[in-house]
Structure 1
């Protein structure tokens, strides 16, 4: 199982970058955002109307926007259901272990797009770990040999061909004739790393709530 690492919610990153792009070519580290309220009434001695002002960094105002839309952004690392259960097991928290596994199962099986269908494309993203760069894999869900079963075949990955231990890093979630081909991938990699595309449309986007 690959390690879990800290990941920024992609929606928060998009909002931050949109604010930073208000000044094309600007260096994000040097940017500030100023919001000004100009009040009616008597002007200051220098002729400037009275006003209130707020200033902050782009990531600060992005956080305000994100919280208003989606709630407070998660901090810390996102863990797969299996990693959450293993953490609880190390703490000797049996209820927490069972709860993490149950919640992971329920989150998958209650999704509006569940179960996976032949033709679905499943993308999984891995952050860099040690000498291994960040990379992605794409799987295709295909009909299985048995009625009601399905297979999940590795279509492509983005690791360089000379990557050390390449065979052990890619394709480990491919399955044949499985009643639920996504279950292992969902539990081990975690839903936050997965994007599922059906009929050319994303129906599950990793990192979303």
Structure 2
């Protein structure tokens, strides 16, 4: 599970105690002003509001950087997309670099012929949760292939575009796309009958 971004903690502590001589607070009050509020246009006082410090800090953080860690694990690509939406180029690049480092520094990396790769998909809308199993095999010119062996998508589901999308031929690194898009937390890698990477393990 990813650590909560320390920037959120900094924002929270700053709001809770903005000055050394100020007592810590758990609730912040203010005045709500809207450019579309007719009350403001006629000179009436803005409406008061109150918000818990941690909720306001999360709101500020999301406005600046995108969603903070909510306890849900994300793929490197999803983390980079969150940073891109927040217009944080540094965080976007860092997410992609960290994803690459996490894969290439794993003790079992690179993939080998005979490896089994399992990927788990959470339920999304009407599509139920399911899994896929791929087999890594030798391919031409020293490259590798990754072919779908089986899946657990229930019969009757629309399979077009749902299964086998990570199968590759003649790839120098067949795990790279799967690692970045699905995320390491959804993958389990089995080598010589033993799991060497268990996705989602705590």
**Which TM-score applies when normalising by structure 2?**
0.65
Deviation at 1:145, TM superposition (A): 1.1
Q: How does 1:4-15 map to 2 (within 5 A)?
A: none
Runs of 4+ in 1 over 3 A off after TM superposition: none
2:115 is aligned with 1:115: no
Q: Which residue of structure 2 lines up, in the alignment, with residue 104 of structure 1?
A: 99
C-alpha separation between the residues in 1 aligned to 2:199 and 2:154?
Answer: 23
SS in 2 for 1:168: coil
C-alpha separation between the residues in 1 aligned to 2:70 and 2:157?
Answer: 32
C-alpha separation between the residues in 1 aligned to 2:196 and 2:70?
Answer: 25
Selected match of 1:175 from 151, 164, 168: 168
Q: How does 1:43-192 map to 2 (within 5 A)?
A: 75-147=70-142, 149-164=143-158, 166-192=159-185
Deviation at 1:75, TM superposition (A): 4.8
Q: How many residues align?
A: 135
Q: How does 1:198-209 map to 2 (within 5 A)?
A: 198-208=191-201
Q: Which residue of structure 2 lines up, in the alignment, with residue 34 of structure 1?
A: none
Q: How does 1:15-54 map to 2 (within 5 A)?
A: none
Stretches of structure 1 that go unaligned for 5 or more consecutive residues are 1-73
C-alpha separation between the residues in 1 aligned to 2:97 and 2:139?
Answer: 27
Deviation at 1:202, TM superposition (A): 0.2
SS in 1 for 2:160: helix
Stretches of structure 2 that go unaligned for 5 or more consecutive residues are 1-68
